[in-house]
């Protein structure tokens, strides 16, 4: 977590002064009812400011620690999701079929459509022919969501073969 900047500390101090001043003014003008009105109004202001800050996404990027290389793929969210899914391919057969296979199927469908004009859903027979029968079972969308938790997922060598095949298609 980053240390607060001088501007953030000043903003916090001003906010505290505003809260204390509003509560005091509310008490002086209308006793306890004035305090309740002042606190309620301040709560609404805080909620609106927090929502606007979140909605506008005004968060400064985290600085890269000294001596560390910035991650070149950090801005590529889709790449990160695919990478994360593939890292778990060996966990179990069920995990492969629920998480990894759908990612591979989406990538395969995209490659088949772009490079061969083949709709994977409409022509799975042709897709199987293009992929090859040896690897088709690892891509077959019909197996999505099935499998055993006790059986291992796909080994790293096979995963590399699948990715290489996707790149070739």
Predicted local confidence at residue 36, as pLDDT: 81
CA neighbor of 22 nearest in space, from 12, 7, 36: 36
Predicted local confidence at residue 7, as pLDDT: 67
What's the whole-number mean pLDDT along residues 9-21? 73
Q: Say what the pTM is.
A: 0.54
Tell me the C-alpha distance between 136 and 157, whole Å: 16
Structure-model confidence comparison of residues 48 and 4, the more confident one: 48
Output the DSSP codes for 42-73: HHHHHHHHHHHHHHHT--PPPPPPTTPPPPTT
The answer on pLDDT for 47 being more than 70 is yes
The answer on pLDDT for 14 being more than 70 is yes
Structure-model confidence comparison of residues 55 and 21, the more confident one: 21
Angstrom CA distances, 35 to 16, 47, 111, 126, 160, stand at: 15, 18, 64, 74, 66
Cβ proximity of 139 and 101 under 8 Å: yes
- Looking at the chain, list the stretches that DSSP marks H as alpha helix, in order from N- to C-terminal side: 6-56, 77-87, 93-95, 101-111, 124-131, 133-139, 156-168
What's the whole-number mean pLDDT along residues 18-31? 77
- Domains of the chain, residue spans: 1-60, 77-168
Q: Given pLDDT bands bounded at 50, 70 and 90, which one contains residue 58?
A: low
Tell me the pLDDT tens digit for each residue of 70-117.
777 667 788 888 888 888 788 888 888 888 889 999 999 999 999 999
Tell me the C-alpha distance between 143 and 147, whole Å: 8
Structure-model confidence comparison of residues 29 and 112, the more confident one: 112
What's the whole-number mean pLDDT along residues 125-138? 93
Give the number of C-alpha atoms closer than 13 A to the C-alpha of residue 22, restricted to the C-beta side. Answer: 15
Cβ proximity of 100 and 89 under 8 Å: yes
Average pLDDT, the chain: 81
Segment of 22-31, 52-61, 87-96 carrying the highest mean pLDDT:
87-96
């Amino acid at each position: 977590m980053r240390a607060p900047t001088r501007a953030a500390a000043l903003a916090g101090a001003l906010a505290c002064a505003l809260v204390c001043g509003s509560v005091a003014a509310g008490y002086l003008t209308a006793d306890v009812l004035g305090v309740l009105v002042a606190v309620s109004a301040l709560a609404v202001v805080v909620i609106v400011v927090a929502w606007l800050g979140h909605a506008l996404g005004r968060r400064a990027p985290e600085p890269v620690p000294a001596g560390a290389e910035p991650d070149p793929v950090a801005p590529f969210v889709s790449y990160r999701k695919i990478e994360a899914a593939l890292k778990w391919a060996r966990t179990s057969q069920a995990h492969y079929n629920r998480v990894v296979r759908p990612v591979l199927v989406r990538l395969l469908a995209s490659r088949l459509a772009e490079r061969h004009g083949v709709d994977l859903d409409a022509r799975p027979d042709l897709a199987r022919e293009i992929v090859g029968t040896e690897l088709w079972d690892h891509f077959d969308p019909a197996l999505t969501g099935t499998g055993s938790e006790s059986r291992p997922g796909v080994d790293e060598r096979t995963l590399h073969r699948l990715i290489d095949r996707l790149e070739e298609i």
